[in-house]
Chain A
């Protein structure tokens, strides 16, 4: 069974641009969550999608958005990039999105904003 796949692995953008990151969950998983990891702030929850609906959202500005498709694949978008958006963006999936389920993480997309 393939794991959680995130593309691209690395991304370099300049301030003001926008970026779209992709996440393919494990087959059969309906819940996808996104986390931002930075050296200063650590791991912070961005949002969670379940069956194409956003179920939970963290404390990030509206420049950060996401969506989930009918095949459970998810994308997150960051508009008007800022230097502080440089981070490792991790996607995680689980079958039903309950806390007592095992969460499977992808290897992440490393975003650098210049």
Chain B
């Protein structure tokens, strides 16, 4: 079955600290992997995506993610968190000629001053 697991429902970090959000997936074919961010009352914004090639991908706002096939993981990282990063983060998987994405349940990030 196709699924995405985000084990951390809620994470709190201090401003300036590093961040890692975990994502594990189950997908029968070669996965296309995504991280989206959602601010309260807003739609989703794409942070980064992985299709093939270099397993470390760079995204917007200083985020990066590493694809590890052996661990079925696609963790999101940021070296120094800013207060404006407080939001909900969603990992998603998809594939093929379709926009159907399977999302994880999300991780709510709080940033302490």
Contact = CB atoms under 8 A, between A and B. Distances in A.
A105 B44 contact: yes
Chain B interface size, under 10 / 10 to 19 / 20 to 34 / 35 or more = 20 to 34
Interface stretch (B15-23, B64-72, B73-81, B100-108): B100-108
Nearest to B106: A42
B83 interface: no
Given A105-B43, A107-B43, A99 B99 contact: yes
Interface string A26-42: 00000101010000001
Interface in B30-71: 32, 36, 41-46, 49, 51
Q: Is the interface of B mostly helix, strand, loop or mixed?
A: loop
Contact of A42 (B45, B46, B97, B105): B105
Given A43-B103, A48-B100, A100-B32, A4 B43 contact: yes
A99 B96 contact: yes
B98 interface: yes
B44 A56 contact: no
